[in-house]
Amino acid sequence: MTFNWKKTVAAATVAALAAVPALAQEMTLKLGHLANEDNPWHLASVKFGDEL
């Protein structure tokens, strides 16, 4: 039995392209904490959300 590189690369390419729509879906992330609005944790969380 010989290993066929062309078929392996073609199969990997098809699998990768099939996965792209799943990765491109819109996603909502939620972050919760117990800090008030003046706390550095809150401020960092807001900054993190802005950067995304």
pLDDT tens digits, one per residue of 9-48: 777 887 777 766 666 678 788 888 898 999 998 999 999 8
Q: What is the pLDDT of residue 24?
A: 66
* Cβ-contact 6, 24 below 8 angstroms: no
User: Could you tell me which residues come within 8 angstroms of residue 29 by beta carbon, excluding any fewer than 6 positions away?
Assistant: 52
Count how many domains the chain has: 1
Q: What is the pLDDT of residue 46?
A: 92
The range of the structural domain enclosing residue 15 comes to 5-51
